[in-house]
């Protein structure tokens, strides 16, 4: 039986662990060390991006700085991860020849299945999920990745022992709407930990033992505890300063317009669907997909697998891939069809075209469309609907349809812009007034409209917009809304006493785009 080294390097900083990764891999590639199973931990907590990623697109550097969270870059590819003291890292550093010179896909499957079998010995129903995760009933418990150096490889993974969802969401550039109580709940539904699965925490030594034993039995090897060799120490000492430096951490920097995020909100009777896509616009590739909502779908892991299917897909193929995935898996849905998800994905992708109107991808998250794409709805827009809550609470026009254009709020500016373009400005005073106004526009044969309302109102009162049958473009509003202040009942009646702000610059861009259509 072949003898491998079992190496436990204990708790180290991000830079120290990554410098050790490179030292161990280089030593192995030069024939200076044995095949190795390594365990590692991190302190301080850290946010680690994949080798090909950029800090600015993946990490919230301000939050990490405030909380003392290290930022660094792995030598393996994949996505950004948050690593704190409750997680355990494991690595396989070995010769490719000892695995029959298999490719990275085959290696991934073999090693992930082995790590999963170790977790099963703890009573956890862990399974390999392509491309490179280990899951428990659809929830991720371990992310993995590998890198080759000549005839050697390093393959690494994490085991979530505990899970601080809030710190992870705030350290990584998770979509903003996820930084809410509902967002934390959604994150916890996608990720699990040993503690969550067992209801208690086995000792760290126990976890290491079952993993080491699984690798030993699957690989047909024996393990003997060992330490770093003098060659490895020398390589580490040579590298450590570089892996602490910005030259390494910021070694990949993409142009600001290369990676962009777009999102959509799609509401039907069967529930709300949110799509968030991170897109490499230069290569026209979906780098990441996040699908959330309050819908019912069975099996529950279907959405996670759909996200995985969309990852790294050519943008032009994303819709076809999603359709084919629905057709192959045939999930059960409650009052939804595959076309609802397809339409939600299409709406997100369409937002990439908004750049021709001078609208940034960040601002596209504030735009919602009704019935038609934005360019078609803008072309025929004959009215602007404005919320009463954007007027000052003491304004004499606060609760009536009209505006003196006194200059004390952005509503007056919106009225002027509407009138200059021959459009009908309407102040919406409550929910019933919205329905009446939309019906009136329909009777007057107004083909489409532009409106301003908060996202929460758009979602909750979605049927008012869709039932009217008139295409529209809606713009989210700023400041604390009635929904955030838990005063939606007062707002429903027209009694909300706070003041919101119109995103007037975004409204201007849409009106300019309307003039060009």
CATH entry 3.40.50.80 includes domain 2-249 = no
Contacts of 144 (CB under 8 A, 6+ apart): 78, 108, 111, 112, 115, 132, 133, 134, 155, 156, 157, 158
Closest alpha carbon to 304 in 513, 130, 511, 87:
130
At 105, which helix (H) or strand (E)? helix 104-120
Q: In sequence order, what are the beta bridge partners of 333? A: 297
Buried/exposed 187-215: b ≥16 CB within 10 Å, e otherwise: beebbbbbebbeeeeeeeeebbebbbebb
Contact 42, 17 (CB under 8 A): yes
Dihedral of the CA atoms 59, 63, 69, 74 (nearest 10)? 0
Q: Which residue has the tokens 């393996």?
A: 76
Q: Is the pLDDT of residue 345 over 60?
A: yes
Mean pLDDT for all residues in the chain: 89
Nearest to 143 by CA among 80, 212, 57, 209: 80
2-249 and 259-356 have identical folds: no
Of 14-28, 221-235, 287-301, give the lowest mean pLDDT range: 287-301
Secondary structure of the chain: what % helix, strand, coil (to 5)? 45, 25, 30
User: Average pLDDT, stretch 45-65?
Assistant: 89
The pLDDT value given to residue 290: 85
Q: Which of 76-85, 245-254, 385-394 has the highest mean pLDDT?
A: 385-394
Banded pLDDT at 89 (limits 50, 70, 90): very high
Domain ranges of the chain: 2-249, 259-356, 366-516
| Phi (first) and psi of residue 72, to 5 degrees | -155, 180
CATH of 259-356, one of 3.30.390.50, 3.40.47.40, 1.10.3720.10, 3.20.20.100: 3.30.390.50
How many Å apart are CA 214 and CA 118, to the nearest integer?
5
Long-range contacts of 335-339 (CB under 8 A, 24+ apart): 335/268, 335/269, 335/270, 335/271, 336/268, 336/270, 336/271, 336/273, 336/295, 336/296, 336/297
d(CA 164, CA 191) in angstroms, rounded, equals: 10
Residue 488 has pLDDT above 80, yes or no: no
Sheet holding 259-268, edge to edge: 259-268, 271-280, 285-293, 313-314
- Model confidence at 121: pLDDT above 60: yes
- pLDDT over threshold 50, residue 191: yes
Question: Which of the residue ranges 19-23, 277-281, 481-485 would you say has the lowest mean pLDDT?
Answer: 481-485
| Nearest-angstrom CA–CA distance, 236 and 78 | 24
Q: Is the pTM of this model over 0.85?
A: no
Task: Return the pLDDT at 189.
Answer: 76
Rounded to an integer, what distance in angstroms lies between the CA atom of residue 231 and that of residue 265? 55
> 342: closest CA among 368, 360, 324, 367?
324
Render pLDDT for 346-388 as a digit per residue (tens, 0 to 9): 999 999 999 888 898 889 999 999 999 999 999 999 999 999 9
Q: d(Cα 193, Cα 88) in Å, to the nearest integer?
A: 11
- What's the pLDDT at 176? 45
Q: Which residue has the higher pLDDT, 390 or 490?
A: 390
- Cα angle 370-371-376, degrees, rounded to a multiple of 5: 95
In this structure, how many other beta carbons lie within 10 angstroms of the beta carbon of residue 302? 20
* pLDDT band with cut points at 50, 70 and 90 for residue 87: very high
Tell me if residue 296 falls in helix, strand or coil.
coil
pLDDT at site 63: 94
DSSP label at residue 316: G
Cβ(232)–Cβ(23) below 8 Å: yes
* Structure token digits, residue 374: 């934005």
| pLDDT score, position 253 | 66
- Residue the block writes with tokens 């609208």: 359
User: Does the pLDDT value for residue 206 go beyond 80?
Assistant: yes
Residue 48 φ then ψ, to 5°: -115, 125
């Amino acid at each position: 039986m072949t003898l491998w080294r079992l190496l436990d390097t204990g708790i180290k900083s991000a830079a120290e662990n990554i410098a050790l990764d490179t030292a161990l891999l280089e030593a192995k590639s030069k024939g200076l060390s044995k095949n190795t199973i390594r365990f590692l931990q991190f302190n301080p907590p850290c946010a680690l991006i994949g080798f090909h990623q950029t800090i600015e697109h993946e990490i919230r550097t301000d939050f990490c700085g405030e909380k003392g969270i290290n930022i660094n870059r792995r030598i393996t590819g994949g996505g950004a991860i948050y690593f704190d003291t409750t997680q355990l890292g494991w690595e396989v550093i070995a010769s490719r020849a000892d695995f029959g010179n298999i490719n990275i896909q085959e290696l991934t499957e073999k090693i992930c299945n082995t790590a999963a079998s170790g977790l099963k010995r703890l009573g956890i129903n862990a399974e390999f999920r392509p491309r490179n995760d280990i899951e428990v009933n659809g929830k991720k418990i371990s992310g993995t990745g590998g890198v080759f150096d000549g005839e050697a490889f390093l393959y690494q993974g994490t085991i979530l022992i505990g899970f601080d969802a809030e710190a992870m969401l705030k350290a990584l550039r998770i979509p903003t709407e996820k930084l809410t109580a509902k967002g934390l709940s959604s994150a916890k539904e996608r990720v699990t930990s040993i503690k969550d699965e067992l209801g208690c925490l086995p000792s760290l030594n126990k976890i290491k033992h079952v993993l080491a034993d699984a690798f030993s039995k699957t690989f047909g090897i024996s393990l003997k505890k060992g330490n770093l060799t003098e060659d490895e120490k020398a390589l580490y000492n040579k590298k450590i300063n570089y892996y602490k430096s910005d030259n390494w951490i910021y070694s990949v920097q993409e142009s600001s317009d290369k990676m962009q995020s777009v999102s959509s909100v799609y509401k039907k009777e069967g529930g709300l669907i949110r799509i968030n896509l991170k897109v490499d616009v230069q290569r026209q590739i979906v780098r990441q997909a996040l699908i959330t909502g309050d819908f019912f779908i069975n099996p529950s892991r279907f959405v996670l697998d759909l996200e995985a299917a969309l990852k790294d897909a050519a943008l032009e193929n994303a819709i076809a891939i999603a359709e084919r995935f629905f057709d192959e898996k045939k999930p059960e849905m409650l009052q939804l069809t595959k076309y609802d998800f397809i339409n939600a994905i299409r709406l997100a992708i369409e937002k990439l075209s908004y750049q021709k109107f001078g609208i940034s991808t960040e601002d596209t998250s504030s735009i919602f469309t009704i019935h038609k794409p934005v360019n078609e709805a803008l072309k025929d827009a004959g009215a602007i609907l404005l919320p009463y809550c954007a007027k000052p609470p003491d304004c004499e026009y606060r609760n009536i349809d009209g505006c003196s254009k006194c200059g004390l709020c952005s509503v007056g500016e919106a009225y002027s812009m509407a009138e200059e373009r021959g459009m009908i400005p309407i102040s919406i005073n409550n929910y019933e007034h919205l329905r009446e106004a939309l019906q009136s526009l329909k009777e007057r044969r107004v083909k489409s409209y532009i409106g301003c309302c908060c996202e929460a109102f758009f979602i909750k009162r979605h049927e008012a917009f869709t039932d009217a049958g008139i295409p529209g473009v809606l713009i989210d509003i700023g400041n604390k809304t009635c929904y955030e202040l838990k005063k939606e009942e007062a707002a429903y009646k027209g009694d909300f006493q706070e003041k919101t702000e119109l995103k007037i610059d975004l409204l201007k861009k849409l009106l300019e785009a309307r003039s060009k259509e």
